[in-house]
Structure 1
Amino acid sequence: MTKITWNHAAVIALFAVASVAQAKTPSVGSREYKVLLNPATFTGTPVDTANRFLTDLQASLAANGFDRTVTKTFKADDDRTVLYYDTAGTCPLKSIGYSMRERDESGDREIELKFGSADESTSANTDVTGSSSKASSKLEEDITPPSNHVFSHSTKEPLADSKNINHLSDIKDLFPTTTAFDSISSQSLVPVSGLSIHELTYSGPTSDLGQEDADFTMTVWYTNGSTTPTLAEISFEVDVNDDGVFTDKVTSRSQLIFDTLQGMTNWVLSPSTTKTAWVYKYQTGFCSQ
């Protein structure tokens, strides 16, 4: 009798451990739709250009039968410096689906490690746990033209003023469960394509899609001290509902907005890509020196 009771308890404990393990595997919490725009149109005052774009978007959505509205206007949000890191010549992060980005807003530094895969399970089960008690992680679905879907598992955390990013070993210091670069930890990390990016973001517009909202952000980049915009992106993010799903109506309305954005040919950069891919392509041969 005692043995049976002990086995029963062990089974319960085993299921409890399994449940905890399952709880650590994240599920998709949001979708972010992203389209690059022609940066030349943002010369001047970016917020004014962003709101002219918004007016055109509202008209285009109405013409395409969108049964909702986009309310509010763009206002200045973030003003920060952005660096992406990898090893020149070989790009080990990029080659296996990682990216590492630092943001610095008035001395408030933040580092993010991201892993992306077209397979949701692969991304969800790639551990990117941070080293800080203030680290936050998420799994989201990134969607870019024409219909590219990547599941991104990322963690961001504060970065101390005294911390320099010099070698691949710094990834292990900041994200200790990441072992992919252990064998080459002494290799150097440098800003990808030699870029220091001045990033301005504008937020505010939103659209009620039914249960969840689409929240819009306009991002404008200036590179290496230039006063001329070199990249512009319009994006909108949609969270899952309280049941952890995207309803059919939310999905179809999101797709309509995304299709409408791609159809705004007087604004859209073609071909469109991701900001990260753009950074890697900025310096020809950065990954194959």
Structure 2
Amino acid sequence: MNKPLSIISAALLSLSTSVSAADVDVGSREYKILLDTTSFSGNTTTRATKVNNYWTALKNLIENDSIECDTSGSLSLEKSRTVIFYDVENSCDLFNAGYIFRERIDNGNREVTLKFRSPDRFIASKKDMDGTESGWESKFEEDLAAPFSSKYSYSTKQGISQSKNLNKVDDPVGLFPGLADENLDETLAIEKVGNLTINEYVYKNASVDLGALDGEFSLTLWYNETVSTTQPIVAEISFKYEDTNEGFSNNVVTRSKSLFSAMQEDSTVASWNTQNSLTKTAAVYQYDSNFCD
């Protein structure tokens, strides 16, 4: 016997409600472009001057007739810290499962982050990314790389003690229990990806008025700590806007896309860009071409 329409409708409504409740809102959208590393060679003073020169060119682009958005602030050094990525040498089990596991050390304080990335929003949002340490924080965001490709990332960060070892796969699994769902061999050793210890410098405090939301800029430079050179191994400019309820208006997203395109097409600003379309993380994984072999 056919069920009454009212019962079917109620069932569908209940299903729809439960599925929607399980979804995770995109809390931020970040637009990223890799820059030519040779453009930022030099000592600390020279580097700051070149960052300022880049911001001047970008600011002029943003405020000209084609974009016509207001800017505020300027790019200044806000963070200086150490970054290390870990994975299984020769197989890169974490990376191949879609995960990135990294440690940041800032003024002696250690923080680890596990990030899962996928072009499929629903695959990314369904991952169990809970942490185990007090005060762990998660975020779900969309990353947009040049020319315009999108990936969703679900990440959790948490502090760890000075004595915590990061030697085997069971260490990140112990910190992020949902990782056990991937059935990785937890006895395998994890090593620094590419044998890299990265000195990271992040320049911030510049923004663009996108309408209801501001876009916050970051210019990030990565250096190999163990190599004596004034040229970074990675340079990236990005801007992002945030709303925990995914309240991104048409005006905000349209202006952002126009700006992102202009940053790749304007002859002055684009002259700072690299032709390499790798992300920062991909650049680290390819720094030593034999690490994942």
Fold match by TM threshold 0.5: yes
Is 1:273 the counterpart of 2:271? The answer is no
SS at match of 1:73: strand
Decide whether aligned partners of structure 1 residues 64 and 40 sit closer, same or farther in structure 2, where only a CA change above 3 A counts.
farther
Contact 1:220 1:233 (8 Å CA) reproduced: yes
Q: How is 1:69-148 mapped onto 2 (pairs within 5 angstroms)? A: 69-148=70-149
Q: Which moved more, 1:37-46 or 1:18-27?
A: 18-27
Once residues 113 and 255 of structure 2 are traced to their aligned partners in structure 1, the CA distance between those partners, rounded to angstroms, is 30
> Is the Cα–Cα contact under 8 Å of residues 214 and 241 in structure 2 kept in the other structure?
yes
Matches within 5 A, 1:8-23: 23=21
CA contact (8 A) 2:102 2:114 kept: yes
Amino acid across the alignment from 2:29: R
**Superimposed CA distance per residue, residues 141-164 of structure 1 (whole angstroms, 9 cap, x where no aligned partner):** 000011110000000000210111
Which 5+ residue runs of structure 1 have no aligned equivalent?
Answer: 1-14
Matched with 2:292 is 287
Q: Is the 8 A contact 1:34 1:235 kept in 2?
A: yes
Q: How much does 1:272 deviate? A: 2.3
Identical amino acids, percent of aligned pairs: 35
Listed one character per residue, the Cα deviations across residues 11-39 of structure 1 (whole Å, up to 9, x for unaligned) are xxxx99x9899656421111011111011
Match of 1:246 in 2: 248
Q: Deviations for 1:35-57, whole angstroms, at most 9, x for unmatched residues?
A: 11011111123222111111111
Matched, 1:173 2:174: yes
Question: What is aligned with 1:7?
Answer: none
Superposed displacement of residue 125, structure 1: 0.4
Task: Determine if contact 1:168/1:181 at 8 Å carries over to the other structure.
Answer: no
Does the Cα contact within 8 Å between 1:98 and 1:113 map onto a contact in 2? yes
Q: CA RMSD for the aligned pairs?
A: 2.1
Q: Confirm or deny that 1:31 pairs with 2:36.
A: no
Per the alignment, in what secondary structure is the counterpart of residue 163 of structure 1?
A: coil
Secondary structure, aligned partner of 1:253: helix
Contact kept, 8 Å, 1:76 with 1:201, in 2: the verdict is yes
For residues 104 and 65 of structure 2, what CA distance do their matches in structure 1 show?
Answer: 37
Partner of 1:4: none
Give the match for residue 260 of structure 2: 258
Aligned match of 2:234 in 219, 231, 234? 231
Q: Whole-Å Cα distance in 2 between the matches of residues 224 and 182 of structure 1?
A: 34
Q: Where does residue 3 of structure 1 map in the other structure? A: none
Instruction: Find the residue that maps to 2:271 and give its secondary structure.
Output: coil
- Structure 2's unaligned 5+ residue stretches are 1-12
Shift of residue 286, structure 1, vs aligned partner: 1.2
Letter in 2 for 1:108: N
Aligned ranges 1:147-226 → 2 under 5 Å: 147-225=148-226, 226=229
Deviation of 1:193 (Å): 0.8
Q: Indicate the residue corresponding to 1:68 in structure 2.
A: 69
Q: Distance in 2 between matches of 1:73 and 1:29?
A: 24
TM-score, normalization: structure 2?
Answer: 0.87
- Tell me the secondary structure at the aligned position of residue 247 of structure 2: coil
Is the 2:133–2:160 Cα contact (8 Å) retained in structure 1?
Answer: no
Indicate conservation of the 8 Å contact 1:217/1:234, yes or no: yes
Aligned residue pairs total 272
Q: Which residue of 2 aligns with 1:55?
A: 56
Once the 2 structures are TM-superposed, how far is the Cα of residue 183 of structure 1 from its aligned partner? 4.3
Contact 2:63 2:71 in 1 (8 A): no
8 Å CA contact 1:83, 1:101 repeated in 2: yes
Normalised by the size of structure 1, how large is the TM-score?
A: 0.88
One-letter code aligned to 2:257 = Q
Counterpart of 1:6 in structure 2 is none
- CA drift at 1:237: 0.9
